[in-house]
Amino acid sequence: MKESKIRTSRFEGKVAVVTGSGRGIGRAIAAALASEGASVVLNGRDTGRLEDAENEIRKITSKVKCVSCDLSEPAGGQFLIDETIKTFGRLDILVNNVGVSMRGNFADLNPEVFRMMFESNVFSAVNVTIPAIRHLRETRGSIVFISSVAGIRGLPFVSAYCSSKMALRALAESIRIEESGHGLHVGLIQVGYTENDPGKETVSADGSMIALQPRAGRGLLSKEAVAKAVISNIRNRRFITTLSFLGKLNAAIQPVFPGLVEMLLIRNLRRFREKCD
């Protein structure tokens, strides 16, 4: 029954690259694409995590490859795409998932934090998407950016992170227009509050890495739920998919009543501070 589903899947014969897929959301997306019949290229800098992810996905399909490289450099993005084409001969789906978050009051930030955010969250996407586009034109494929509800409007104590995620929307919008004649699909996934893997880190105000506490509570999205939303976005060739009730509410209210959203954020400033401490 499972094999029958894979054979009739819309992703059978497709090749997908998922950046930052050694763990977390990226790993869940890669597993979901493999379950739908796609050949999957995993990417990250930690070879141990990549091997673990590969072992998991090989239980679903043998059509998987790991490419360890640093996408913050253009050479890394080119290498990832070259290895994909060399192995599978085509590219249909690129999921730009690699990224990092931060915590800290803007006035206390080491400016280096902004460089770290943009190198990881924006430059990594740029460096792999540029060499990927000519191959995606041939397959009329999909480019998906994993963004955040923090990219809808600026939030307190995550200014550098919000800035980088807002930049992804501008990038996605520009590519959609420029590539409209080539039939490319561009998707933007605005992820809400999602469970994180043990050992996941974030960037502190001084630029050092600190461990994130495991997340819990109402409204917490599972990694599998995010992966399912990504699959749906690609299958239906949607532009923006916003996850979580609060995320959808923010997306609806912010353009119409920005002053109201700001007032609510100020009233709940202490909660944001407690979440970020």
Kindly list the catalytic residues.
161
Q: Is 111 helix (H, G, I), strand (E, B) or coil?
A: coil
Quick one: 42 exposed, middle or buried, by C-beta within 10 A (0-12, 13-18, 19+)? buried
Backbone angles phi, psi at 160, to 5 degrees: -65, -40
Beta-carbon contacts of residue 243 (< 8 Å; ≥ 6 apart): 149, 189, 190, 191, 192, 221, 225, 226, 229
Q: Determine the straight-line distance between the first and last CA of the chain, rounded to whole angstroms.
A: 48
The amino acid at residue 87 is T
